[in-house]
Amino acid sequence: MPERRTVALVTLGCARNEVDSEELAGRLEADGWELVEDAESADVAVVNTCGFVEAAKKDSVDALLEANDLKGHGRTQAVVAVGCMAERYGKELADALPEADGVLGFDDYEDISGRLQTILSGGNVEAHAPRDRRKLLPISPAERQEAGAGIALPGHAPADLPDGLAPASGPRAPLRRRLDGAPVASVKLASGCDRRCSFCAIPSFRGSFISRRPSDVLNETRWLAEQGVKEVMLVSENNTSYGKDLGDIRLLESLLPELAAVDGIERVRVSYLQPAEMRPGLIDVLTGTDKVVPYFDLSFQHSAPGVLRAMRRFGDTDRFLELLDTIRSKAPQAGVRSNFIVGFPGESESDFAELERFLNGARLDAIGVFGYSDEEGTEAATYENKLDEDVVAERLARVSRLAEQLVSQRAEERLGETVEVLVESVDDEDGVVGRGAHQAPETDGQVRLTGGAGLSVGRMVEAKVVGTEGVDLVAEPLDRFEEAAR
């Protein structure tokens, strides 16, 4: 009988990393590893790191050190770093953090089982050597699909059986293993990014943009529905570019209704949209397709034209407000969120005031704000006219206070609205909690249902908004109102 091998996956960062972790889990389980929830119960703790900004990198290092502290006190024998930080820094991370017994890049994922077994057996696995992944695919998007066959693309793993061996009916199981029983799951739509925002290092370690085949996205969604998933969230670095390397930039518009028609799926959500790439047809599908929620995760980053040009981005306050007006003319209850960078090199007081003007007019449901800091290897890190740290901190605090006020006001505007809530947790302490169509998981607030006794996780409930708690809503199921009326 083979020796029992246990592994725990600790995931940091975004929803894309969560998909990657579930692919790793699928690969490991297929090779006989037993997946456990807690690192202290595992022979190997695999930390899927984030390498986006300094705070995320610090969290990743802390998680690796925390897992390392378990060695010698329980079952844990090895700690391994994977994910974006490991891919971005490789051997540099291994040298700086000898507590990690292995630092593996995306190219190691296909044989993750073998790599972990070698490490667990006391062998040496050479630390990943970073490379600019933008250079692995052709410049022309039309040539990428064929070239991408030999490139590691985490989260793109197709079904684990070739077409000729697939079952005659029912969805093929993807090379993925769910790590929780939540009624919502992310699905990777694409990887990489062709945009060259001056502040962002992601394309260098995630590579150029490449789409997944629609059939793989559909098969994975069908499989997730069989696992009890009610909502799928499509993720990538830039969903508005989906299909451009498949010969059809409007492919997302045709794929969304097919995903919405999958038996068992009640809600399809699209994240990571670029304002400069929004198309009238895509807005129409997002606002007019049953079960596709009118949700717009728009990456504005700023609204002052000069700052946006320095960021290598496009647009301005008035054009962004026009885009929001167009969306709300088609779906008045549409949810909109965005992130912003303040204190970018050269940002003047008038630029900052222009951003405040946009925020005051945008009526956003959720706002993320970050103070600028240099990211190694980015164009912006070479810019002059850097603002003093205290100026950046002051502007960050100022716009954060404004953002908190504005999202609370936007929540109050929803008083009296009917929202469809996906129940995500039921417990004695918090009661019944879920999310409306305008709220993405973990980022946009939640809905607390009053009088929701008897409801279970995974239920879709129509409810009337009766109160607010900051960005969060309080709602009462409509059937309670109907009973009261009778």
Instruction: Give the residue ranges of the annotated binding site for [4Fe-4S] cluster.
Output: 14, 50, 84, 193, 197, 200
Instruction: Please name the residue that has the structure tokens 């089982």.
Output: 113
From CA 6, how far away is CA 28, in angstroms rounded? 10
Residues of each annotated binding site: 14, 50, 84, 193, 197, 200
Taking Cα atoms as reference points, which of 285, 284, 185, 200 lies closest to residue 238? 200
For 449, the token pair is 């249902």
**Extended beta strands in 27-151, E state:** 34-35, 44-49, 78-83, 102-103
Amino acid at 45: A
The C-alpha angle with vertex 214 and arms to 213 and 216, in degrees rounded to 5, equals 70
Strands 184-188 and 231-235: parallel
Instruction: Please name the residue that has the structure tokens 């045709």.
Output: 254
From CA 482, how far away is CA 486, in angstroms rounded? 6
From CA 288, how far away is CA 257, in angstroms rounded? 10
From CA 12, how far away is CA 471, in angstroms rounded? 24
Name the DSSP class of 239: G
From CA 303, how far away is CA 18, in angstroms rounded? 31
Q: Is 233 exposed, middle or buried (0-12, 13-18, 19+ CB in 10 A)?
A: buried
For 130, the token pair is 């970073």
Q: Is 477 helix (H, G, I), strand (E, B) or coil?
A: strand
Taking Cα atoms as reference points, which of 316, 352, 314, 50 lies closest to residue 196? 314
- Contact between residue 233 and residue 441 where contact means Cβ atoms under 8 Å apart: yes
